[in-house]
Amino acid sequence: MPHGRGRARVRVKGPRSFSALSAFSAVKKERAKVRVKRRGPTAAVALVITLILISVITFMAITFLVVSRAQKGAVSTTTDQTTAKLAADAGFERAKAELLAPILAFTNPAGYDLRVSTNYVNPAGFIISGVAYTSFTNASYNYPNGQSLTGKDALQNLANLLYDPRPPVFVTNRLFPNSNEFRFYLDLNRNGRYDTNGLLPVINPNGGFYDTNGNFISAISPGNTASNFFVGDPEWIGGLEKAHSPHSATNRFLYRHAYIAIPAKLHPQPGQGTVQTAVGRFSAQPGRRDL
């Protein structure tokens, strides 16, 4: 059977009266023989090479995924560490500025005292009407009657957070199911409650108060009660992604920091003053354990 241009030509011998179906069957059989003859060691080698290439590509793809995931984890860890370090540095610099302000204002190198970080809230409570409703000074998580904010007022309060903001970080106590504790302060003395900062009435040994002349009184008398500025627990100050803009969906809190400045030593030498202050700094990121 001669070959030409990859096609098989069949020469049929015998009488000319054979049917067309017999001729077609003969051609089909001859072509099948040609295909069988063409399949040899080359086809097996090609199959083996294909399997090897598929195995190599699969291995490289899996390796790439594993390496990419490991690199992503390393980048995330480095980013968190850098953010925490910058938060601690921000608290440290803020503490130094708070200590230097009264010293420079009154030109008194000893004009400093125990100081902690404080965030801003409206002491009168959240105002629900008027121009002040959207003011950045209208930041409080409670109404004037002490009740917690709800609905659109709670959302507006989050949009007003700009000046030394108090981030909304709530902690669930596993000892009390379904409890949400608003941890806006650092409980350094571990007494389980918030010790208030700021101007407060002075309490006498009997549990009452003092009037402006120093006499004991049993209850607070408006305008006639002695008060003082007290230092309580350090309060967390939030750090926004864009510090010049208020909190929003596109301007999230990246971290929060707190500090306490404790006078360590004050021993003026003749003709020279020496002041040393210990500053503790703390930083944390929203949703993470306090560092």
Q: How confident is the model at residue 230 (pLDDT cuts 50, 70, 90)?
A: confident
pTM for the model: 0.63
Look at residue 274 and tell me whether its pLDDT is greater than 70. Answer: no
Q: How confident is the model at residue 50 (pLDDT cuts 50, 70, 90)?
A: confident
> What pLDDT is attached to residue 247?
93
In a domain, 221, yes or no: yes
Stretch among 76-85, 149-158, 243-252 having the lowest mean pLDDT: 76-85
What are the tens digits of pLDDT across the range 51-76? 888 888 888 888 888 877 777 777 88
What are the tens digits of pLDDT across the range 111-170? 788 889 999 999 889 999 889 999 999 999 999 998 989 999 999 999 999 999 999 988
In a domain, 277, yes or no: no
Q: Is the dihedral of CA 129, 135, 141, 144 positive or negative?
A: negative
Stretch among 31-40, 192-201, 240-249 having the lowest mean pLDDT: 31-40
> What pLDDT is attached to residue 3?
47
In a domain, 169, yes or no: no
Q: What is the pLDDT averaged over residues 32-45?
A: 59
Stretch (H or E) spanning 21: helix 20-38
Look at residue 46 and tell me whether its pLDDT is greater than 70. Answer: yes
In a domain, 241, yes or no: no
Exposure on the CB side of residue 12, measured as CA atoms within 13 A: 15
Closest alpha carbon to 84 in 278, 253, 257, 247: 257
> What pLDDT is attached to residue 77?
84
In a domain, 207, yes or no: yes
What are the tens digits of pLDDT across the range 180-211? 888 899 888 888 888 888 888 888 888 889 98
Any idea of the CA torsion for 91, 94, 100, 106, to the nearest 10 degrees?
-130
Q: What mean pLDDT is reported for the chain?
A: 78
> What pLDDT is attached to residue 265?
60
| Total residues belonging to the chain | 291
Q: Name the domain count of the chain.
A: 1
> What pLDDT is attached to residue 238?
92
Q: Please give the residue range of the domain that contains residue 203.
A: 198-231
In a domain, 170, yes or no: no
In a domain, 209, yes or no: yes
Contacts of 135 (CB under 8 A, 6+ apart): 127, 160
Contacts of 236 (CB under 8 A, 6+ apart): 117, 119, 166, 167, 169, 183, 184, 185, 186, 256, 257, 258, 284
In a domain, 83, yes or no: no
